[in-house]
Amino acid sequence: MPKSRLEAFADGIFAIAATLLILNVAVAEGQPLGPELVRIWPSYAAYAVSFVTLGVIWINHHLVMHQVSHVDRLFLVLNVLFLAVIAFIPFPTRLLSLYITTGDAKAAALGYGITLTLTAVMFNAIWRYAAWGRRLIRQDADPKVVSGIGRSYLPGPIIYFVATVVALVSPQLSAVLYGLIALFYVLESSVFGRAEAR
């Protein structure tokens, strides 16, 4: 079974989920616009963090599919479940935008963290399934690259789980951590990317 349609479907879900994030950026009508544009700053931050997070996950999905030679039906089903979590991200992003500066910040930060932890778990599941016994890996893939990818994805669920638990004590700190994780992954991708480009 060719992998191109899975890539098209996945690229579509990533692109739409990322673009729908903008619907969470909205001002209250009937209020003076200037102060409103300042008041809704958490929605800009949440937009940026979620868009970049989706972008980094998309790049990593790109890397995984690059190592994969073909897909089977269980791999497709795992990807559908994974993409269901990806397409869910606009909802907790909306919660962060609306509630992180209110008394309901804890529920919002927990909702965001649980979703992102689940995303990282699902991503690892997809990779483990593809790489187990090199089931779906293309023959000419470099074993070092394959085992390197496996190692680099392991910490994701733990990092997001820790940031989620922090929300129980300080939702605001937890939100900052979500931003720092996204920033870390962007920098790590960029530096790694520069190494590859040499």
Residue numbers at the binding site for a second copy (CB under 8 A): 1-2, 5, 7-9, 11-23, 25-27, 29, 32-34, 37, 47-48, 51-52, 55-56, 58-59, 62, 65-66, 72-77, 80-81, 83-84, 87-88, 90-91, 95, 98-99, 104, 106-108, 111, 135-136, 186, 189-190, 192-194, 196-197
Residue placing its CB nearer to a second copy in the complex, 28 or 143? 28
3: DSSP letter = S
Structure tokens at 144: 């070092």
Least Å from the CB of residue 150 to a second copy:
18
Least Å from the CB of residue 19 to a second copy:
4
Least Å from the CB of residue 104 to a second copy:
4
What's the rounded Cα separation, in Å, for the pair 149 and 156? 12
Residue placing its CB nearer to a second copy in the complex, 147 or 190? 190
Specify whether the CB–CB gap between 174 and 166 falls below 8 A. Answer: yes
Residue placing its CB nearer to a second copy in the complex, 15 or 158? 15
Specify whether the CB–CB gap between 90 and 21 falls below 8 A. Answer: yes
Distances (CA, A) of 124 to 30, 84, 157: 46, 15, 8
Specify whether the CB–CB gap between 55 and 95 falls below 8 A. Answer: no
Least Å from the CB of residue 187 to a second copy:
9
Least Å from the CB of residue 56 to a second copy:
7
What's the rounded Cα separation, in Å, for the pair 89 and 121? 14
